[in-house]
Structure 1
Amino acid sequence: MSLRQWWRDLAMGVRFAFAGGREGWVRALLTAVGVGLGVALLLLTTALPSALAVRHDREDARTDITFSDKVIPKAADTLLVAATGTTFRDLSVRGRELEPEGPKAPLPPGVGAFPAAGEMVVSPALKKLLESGDGRLLRDRLPERIVGTIGESGLIGSHELAYYRGAEGLAAQGVNGGRIERIDRFGNPNPTTERTDPVMLLLILVVFVVLLMPVAVFITAAVRFGGERRDRRLAALRLVGSDGRSTRRIAAGEALAGAVLGLVLGTGFFLIGREVAGSVEVFGMSVFPSYLNPSPALALLVGLAVPAAAVMVTLFALRGVVIEPLGVVRTAKPARRRLWWRLLLPLAGLAMLYPMVGQGRDEGDFNQYLVTGGVILLLVGVTALLPWIVEAVVARLGAGGLSWQLAVRRLQLSSGTAARMVNGIAVAVAGAIALQMLFAGVEGDYTKNTGYDVSRAQMQVSVPDGKTLAATARQLSATKGVEKVYAFDEGYVADGPGDEARWSRVTVADCASLREIAALPSCREGDSFVLQGGGDDGEEGALTAEPGRTLYFETATSDGSENTKPVAWTLPKDVKQARSLVDPTGYKRGGLLITPSALSSTVAPGVRGQIYLRLDDSLPDAREYVRNTAARINPLEEPMEWVSFERSDRYDSIRTGLFVGAACVLALIGASLLVSQLEQLRERKKLLSALVAFGTRRRTLSLSVLWQTAIPITLGLLLASVVGLTLGAVLLRMTDTTVRVDWSSVLSMTGVAAAVVIVVTVLSLPPLLRLMRPDGLRTE
């Protein structure tokens, strides 16, 4: 067969799609919409690496606080930068104070001119928040006049909250390389590439495969829309002299036309989605539309793969169909599907993953080709097994109500069509269950217990230099939403002034606060205590066991530099014994407890105030009132909010990406199912009209349509659960993690999938009711 003949047959199929009357272009449009939705999601996925890279580059380009020990001398091109970021209702606000030291001081990216003291430039999202009623409490913290906005080049996302405000006298507060820095340019001076954890790489790889597989399944299902009507048109072609092979190539050309039109629609959907993406924030992440630029190579791959897949899928679908001049031999009972080769796909997938079982993170990276191939084969196994399972089950279904019998008979005649409708959702659920098991299994490796007792305190505030513990504690205790304040001055003492000295902890507080961290025999102002049962008892106990001995505090020098000098202090002779208790930070302290009057003023600079706050949880904005008070006390010190557990930022980012991708895939699932359902109803228009004309109740027909969806969906979800649990168990064994089934995740994923199907079914009822009219039998 010549290439020219192939081209002629394909071209004829394209003409039939667009010039074959209403049936032809309606089918082409339905195919294009289904393919277009998949293409749009594929393009968005191929654009994600670009978006993440741009966000990283923008973050690097504006880096200013580098925690460097090197101090740059003041010059005409230097700038003082202070980190003043804050948090507002779980939203992170990036903040900087700027003080140019010369006319050539570098401007931050996205900023046209330095704001003066009392002025600030803000991101568009922060400006909108500050001008709204919801931002009233944040406005109290950022009262400066807004004189401009930060441009896109200075932000990592369209919804990022950020500001730069003018400052004066930063140098007097000390250039310390962590809170205030002097820089001569913005940007990360030492970009580093850290080795990624093998388990993290496995998570990323599996996330991408699991999210893209349902898209590929939906695209292959979309190119087969309108199969029954198409086959009748193909029979007419055989009647006028076309042979079987040419007829199949013409059918492939028709599918090719829908796929190419789907590429056009998909590009349009992608451009619309890209603009929409710039106006939304999902799980705390946002991007600018310009970030979402697909890689040209990946976009070209999508553009070539989708039409090629349309042709191949159509030829594959027609391989067992006998197209004759007087009809299509598909209405007869089809040959039973074979099971053996369908089982080979998941078994081959397991065989590819098996060599990596037990590897964990200690034996290098996982083989990405084996991982990708194994997961794909397991998920493709779902699409291969589901038609066999649906056929085998519906063949054994029988007695029931009229609606049940109508649904079962329809499924027995076209079980393949029913399976194709739910293949995508089954693949999505199987992949999601496996990923949820993997995430739940390895979460402990990326989550640590902070030890904080959040029932006793929820926030911590450091007392700034130049402020007293008592005055700061009074301000915070008077703050709305604060129920109790535990205030401590904390420091360390040594048994000598040299580098070889041994150290012990010192805590200074009133008796009420000291009772929160130790069991005291009695306490009144002027008392001192040696703690037993906390810290390193051997070292600290030996250091403080001799009343009257001389100890040394480290205090800062008067010039504000980082140098320190030891100041002698005598341990009181009447020091008492106390038993250490677990303090609000989850730690048993050792060393000394001292009431304020027992500490001489000469060593007072050797301790630093820490205040722990218990809040009124019934007041939603209690934390915001505390942050406002803390900002008035010291704008360069952000209060710390306590949490019971902390998770790795990278782990959280991957999990966020999974949720964002899953949301997009679920939207695609719903839209594609709806299109597929409408296409099925359109093909059965005359049949439904005939049943209504013979007196069948509409309620009966509506229930039959519901059963036709519910039966294959139930079977698909059961199969997805089995495959998902198997894949999840294998992935956990690969990471050398104990296999545990997260049943709540399994049930939630199957529940979400079932909810999507119910919504699609409800949305398809109005078109169904319109089709169930006797006048649908009219023809021209």
Structure 2
Amino acid sequence: MNARQWSRDLAMGVRFAFAGGREGWFRATLTAIGVGLGVALLLLTTAIPNALAVRHQRDVARADYTYVFGHPMKAGEKTFVVADIDTPYRGADIRGRMIQREGAQAPVPPGLTKYPAPGEMAVSPALKRLLGSSDGTLLRARLPYRITATIAESGLTGSQELAYYAGSDNLAAHIDPPNVARIDHFGSPRSPDSESDPVLTLLVLVVFVILLMPVGVFVAAAVRFGGERRDRRLAALRLVGSDGWMVRRIAAGEAMAGALLGLVLGVGFFLIGRQLAGTAEVFGTSVFPSYLNPSPVLAALVAVLVPAAAVLVTLFTLRGVVIEPLGVVRTAKPARRRLWWRLLLPVAGLAALYPMIGQGRGGGNFNQYLVTGGVLLLLVGVTALLPWVVETVVGRLGEGAVAWQLAVRRLQLSSGTAARMVNGIAVAVAGAIALQMVFAGVEADYTKRTTNDLTRAQMSVQVPDGVQVPDVAKAMTATKGVLKVVSIADGQAGDKDKDPSQTASVSVGSCASLREIATLPSCHDGDAFALKGSDSETDSETAKLLTAAEKHGRTLYLNPAYVGDIHHGALSRWTVPTGLKQAESRKDPTGYERGGFLLTPGALPRGASTAVQGVVYLSIDSGVRDATEYVINTAVRIDPLMQPETLTSVERDGQFESIRTGLFVGAAAVLALIGASLLVSQLEQLRERKKLLSALVAFGTRRRTLSLSVLWQTAIPIGLGLLLAGVVGLTLGTVLLKMVGSTVRVDWPGVLAMTGFGAAVVLAVTLLSLPPLLRLMRPEGLRTE
């Protein structure tokens, strides 16, 4: 046997696939569609790293946070002023920047050809569509600028990103880094690479392995579509003189033909999917089609491995099939599948992962090769164990209704085919269960509970310089959906007007507002209080400042100046009243506990309103739709630089959330692929049994009985597959949790949810296969040419 003979036999198989009449074309097309779907997803997956890299590059190129604290930049030929005016809208984040050009040589923002003039703005295509739709009514009131330009792709991170640049001519007067800063270029300065989190790196690696493994299983199954009919056709080749190995190579060539056609279809599906990806947004993430360019090396690897896998899988599956001139011996009782070598795969996977137990943040990084190999071996163990489990279980199933007996007998005759159909879903569910356990186990490390008390306030508004706190409170009180407004203005008091040695905080508000931050004995406008009870150090500073004030006629200075600081607001003198009342400190709605002094508006010296900066806390009526949008619109109407904040009970790490989002996106794509593969495989199985179904109907078998038998044929192996997936998934999840040093805890709701998703996919596929099943169950199907 030589390479020439191999190539000749493979080429003959390719010719049979395309010149073997309707039967050959149908099988080649069926295989090509299955392989094409898998190849498309593989190409999309290999393009993801490049897409993420391009998104990051675009984001870095337009970054405008280059201000260095303590070294304010002077206006020049290359400078411009930029303000961060990001805003949320109905759950979506909108990137907003207000810019003012100061010098003729100031760089233009990426994606623009010129600076927008005051009152004008440049918007992203997605934002332009939103503003022009009926859903953008409230947003149009928030952005009262005339659209004069569209941001090009080079200035955006995704096709569905909402972003805009608004022009201004008075930003320089409001410089307050980092929200409003003067800079001379776009792009983040190069910083030393920070040490990566080994746990997050492990999550990324495992996510990729677990999402790609079902795709590989599906591609391997797709090249075996129509195998039984193909094997019967091969018997004719034996009749004309071909030996056993020759017909096997011809069969491999026929499968390779379908795989090669699948590569072509896969490229087409990929190009279609890439264009569709440019119009979609999944979990807040979008890309431009140009971002999805697969790595040439990985794409070449896919192009080589898929046809090679088709040949190897075909040769492997034909090892137990005897193809003789008078037929194919497949129905004889096969030898029982051995268990020992199937158990070696998951055991080897556990052995590869065992040395890394306890590694992670405190023990170093994980070996990516051992992680990849160990996870792969465990998941491949599912595909190896499932045929044995199905064969063992269905071999012991016996009496029952007619539909049950038909299903069980069919599974007993072809348990391998049944297991092959559900291998992909079993692998996907096993991986999803493991990841769900890991995410649930480490979530606490990347989730921080805030001190916000959402029963007292749900939003807060920081009042910028130049805006009076009472004016903001009054406007918010009149805003639709606002139930309660608490306004506090904070400042500082010192014993000197410049560089004071003793300082304390000063908070100004109405009696009702002050009661939100302190327990007051009694309160009237004009009263002042000294706070105690926040902590001993703060109380001591307040007492020292009062002692210092006694030396200067009980006079303190509000908003004292410090050398080198950008000083805002006027300096005011405050005479501490005799018999100053005492008040007990209380945490505000954000959990902050103030010290120092409390003043009502009547106790504040004349002209001292600019010496304090305010915050307004809002209680929102949850029954009013878009209540938060009304609040933001009111704030922007008062001052475009004012940014209300929605208070939350928890804060999650951005990288952790990005990885979880990537998992959901990938899982959705893999489940869709698996559903499509199951449907194609189910239709192929029904087509193989067309004459048998017709014969049963002709002999009087009810269609309901046959439909139930088909349902049982799917439900039994799926049930076994999900059970095995649960065991392997829990095992893998436990090992991964021990690797990252987290407490092993089974997230049963998550496990049940993942299993339920897998079962739902199978149920949907079964329902979709019922119409063609009913068409096949006709006595006319017995007719032949």
Of 96-105 and 732-741, the range deviating more from structure 2: 96-105
Identity of counterpart residues, as a percentage? Answer: 67
Residue deviations 1:22-63, cap 9 Å, x none? 111111111111111010000000000110111111111111
Is 1:129 paired with 2:134? no
After TM superposition, give the deviation of residue 515 of structure 1 in Å. Answer: 1.4
After TM superposition, give the deviation of residue 87 of structure 1 in Å. Answer: 1.3
Is 1:702 paired with 2:711? no
Residue deviations 1:347-370, cap 9 Å, x none? 111111111112231122111011
After TM superposition, give the deviation of residue 559 of structure 1 in Å. Answer: 13
Counterpart amino acid of residue 52 in structure 1: L
Residue deviations 1:153-182, cap 9 Å, x none? 1111111111112111222223x4412233
2:287 corresponds to: 287
Distance 1:679 1:252 in 2: 19
Of 93-102 and 370-379, the range deviating more from structure 2: 93-102
Counterpart amino acid of residue 727 in structure 1: L
2:246 corresponds to: 246
Give the match's secondary structure for 2:320. Answer: coil
Give the match's secondary structure for 2:331. Answer: coil
Is 1:758 paired with 2:759? no
After TM superposition, give the deviation of residue 645 of structure 1 in Å. Answer: 0.5
Of 554-563 and 281-290, the range deviating more from structure 2: 554-563
Counterpart amino acid of residue 133 in structure 1: S
After TM superposition, give the deviation of residue 519 of structure 1 in Å. Answer: 1.9
Residue deviations 1:64-100, cap 9 Å, x none? 2323234443333332222222111121111112222
1:164 corresponds to: 165
CA contact (8 A) 1:507 1:594 kept: yes
2:81 corresponds to: 80
2:733 corresponds to: 728
| Equivalent residues, number | 778
Of 646-655 and 582-591, the range deviating more from structure 2: 582-591
After TM superposition, give the deviation of residue 481 of structure 1 in Å. Answer: 1.0
Distance 2:57 2:272 in 1: 25
CA contact (8 A) 2:569 2:610 kept: no
Give the match's secondary structure for 2:10. Answer: helix
After TM superposition, give the deviation of residue 513 of structure 1 in Å. Answer: 1.0
Distance 2:606 2:3 in 1: 97
Residue deviations 1:402-433, cap 9 Å, x none? 01000000000000000000000000000001
Give the match's secondary structure for 1:204. Answer: helix
Distance 2:214 2:7 in 1: 31
Of 674-683 and 556-565, the range deviating more from structure 2: 556-565
Q: Cα gap change, 1:547/1:180 in structure 2, threshold over 3 Å: closer, same or farther?
A: closer
Distance 2:142 2:498 in 1: 44
2:409 corresponds to: 409
Is 1:575 paired with 2:580? yes
After TM superposition, give the deviation of residue 149 of structure 1 in Å. Answer: 0.9
Residue deviations 1:186-215, cap 9 Å, x none? 222335532220000001000000100000
After TM superposition, give the deviation of residue 779 of structure 1 in Å. Answer: 1.4
Of 605, 614, 634, the residue aligned with 1:609 is: 614
Note the residue ranges of structure 1 that are not aligned, 5 or more in a row.
none
Distance 2:616 2:88 in 1: 19
CA contact (8 A) 1:555 1:564 kept: no
Distance 1:482 1:253 in 2: 72
Counterpart amino acid of residue 720 in structure 1: A
1:337 corresponds to: 337
After TM superposition, give the deviation of residue 537 of structure 1 in Å. Answer: 2.1
Counterpart amino acid of residue 66 in structure 1: T
CA contact (8 A) 1:547 1:574 kept: no
2:536 corresponds to: 537
Q: Cα gap change, 1:423/1:597 in structure 2, threshold over 3 Å: closer, same or farther?
A: same
CA contact (8 A) 1:557 1:563 kept: no
Distance 1:285 1:28 in 2: 37
Q: Cα gap change, 1:100/1:410 in structure 2, threshold over 3 Å: closer, same or farther?
A: same
Distance 1:569 1:16 in 2: 98
Give the match's secondary structure for 1:181. Answer: strand
Distance 2:221 2:454 in 1: 52
Of 634, 637, 643, the residue aligned with 1:638 is: 643
Q: Cα gap change, 1:29/1:544 in structure 2, threshold over 3 Å: closer, same or farther?
A: same
Q: Cα gap change, 1:378/1:558 in structure 2, threshold over 3 Å: closer, same or farther?
A: closer
1:102 corresponds to: 103
After TM superposition, give the deviation of residue 446 of structure 1 in Å. Answer: 0.7
Is 1:272 paired with 2:276? no
Residue deviations 1:221-243, cap 9 Å, x none? 11111111111112221121111
Of 679, 684, 689, the residue aligned with 1:679 is: 684
Is 1:233 paired with 2:233? yes
1:516 corresponds to: 516
Residue deviations 1:284-328, cap 9 Å, x none? 001110110001001001101111111111111111222222222
Counterpart amino acid of residue 286 in structure 1: S
After TM superposition, give the deviation of residue 556 of structure 1 in Å. Answer: 5.6
Distance 2:165 2:262 in 1: 46
Distance 1:192 1:704 in 2: 64
- The alignment yields a C-alpha RMSD, in angstroms, of 2.0
Distance 2:360 2:344 in 1: 27
CA contact (8 A) 1:235 1:328 kept: yes
Of 177-186 and 452-461, the range deviating more from structure 2: 177-186
After TM superposition, give the deviation of residue 244 of structure 1 in Å. Answer: 1.1
Give the match's secondary structure for 2:96. Answer: strand
Is 1:692 paired with 2:703? no
Counterpart amino acid of residue 128 in structure 2: K
Give the match's secondary structure for 1:310. Answer: helix
2:468 corresponds to: 468
Give the match's secondary structure for 2:43. Answer: helix
Distance 2:528 2:73 in 1: 45
Of 521-530 and 715-724, the range deviating more from structure 2: 521-530
Distance 1:395 1:640 in 2: 63
Q: Cα gap change, 1:392/1:709 in structure 2, threshold over 3 Å: closer, same or farther?
A: same
Is 1:593 paired with 2:598? yes
Distance 2:27 2:399 in 1: 35
Counterpart amino acid of residue 634 in structure 1: D
CA contact (8 A) 2:538 2:596 kept: no
Residue deviations 1:513-567, cap 9 Å, x none? 1112222221112222233332x22342453378564255434699993489986
After TM superposition, give the deviation of residue 458 of structure 1 in Å. Answer: 1.0
- Compute the TM-score of the two structures, normalised by the length of structure 1: 0.97
Residue deviations 1:568-595, cap 9 Å, x none? 6444332222222332112333332222
Distance 1:107 1:754 in 2: 54
Give the match's secondary structure for 1:318. Answer: helix
Give the match's secondary structure for 2:97. Answer: strand
1:90 corresponds to: 91
Q: Cα gap change, 1:45/1:178 in structure 2, threshold over 3 Å: closer, same or farther?
A: same
Distance 1:502 1:339 in 2: 80
Of 498-507 and 267-276, the range deviating more from structure 2: 498-507
Give the match's secondary structure for 2:614. Answer: strand
After TM superposition, give the deviation of residue 151 of structure 1 in Å. Answer: 0.9
Give the match's secondary structure for 2:559. Answer: strand
Distance 2:158 2:50 in 1: 13
Give the match's secondary structure for 2:483. Answer: strand
Q: Cα gap change, 1:57/1:779 in structure 2, threshold over 3 Å: closer, same or farther?
A: same
**Alignment of structure 1 residues 185-584 onto 2, 5 Å:** 185-494=185-494, 501=501, 503-534=503-534, 536-541=535-540, 543-544=542-543, 549-550=548-549, 551-555=556-560, 561-562=566-567, 569-584=574-589
Q: Cα gap change, 1:502/1:725 in structure 2, threshold over 3 Å: closer, same or farther?
A: farther
Of 186-195 and 626-635, the range deviating more from structure 2: 186-195
Is 1:151 paired with 2:156? no
Residue deviations 1:605-626, cap 9 Å, x none? 4421111001111012111111
Is 1:655 paired with 2:660? yes
- Compute the TM-score of the two structures, normalised by the length of structure 2: 0.96
Residue deviations 1:107-156, cap 9 Å, x none? 11111222211111111111111111110111001111111211111111
1:12 corresponds to: 12
Give the match's secondary structure for 2:578. Answer: coil
Distance 2:249 2:94 in 1: 59
Q: Cα gap change, 1:404/1:353 in structure 2, threshold over 3 Å: closer, same or farther?
A: same
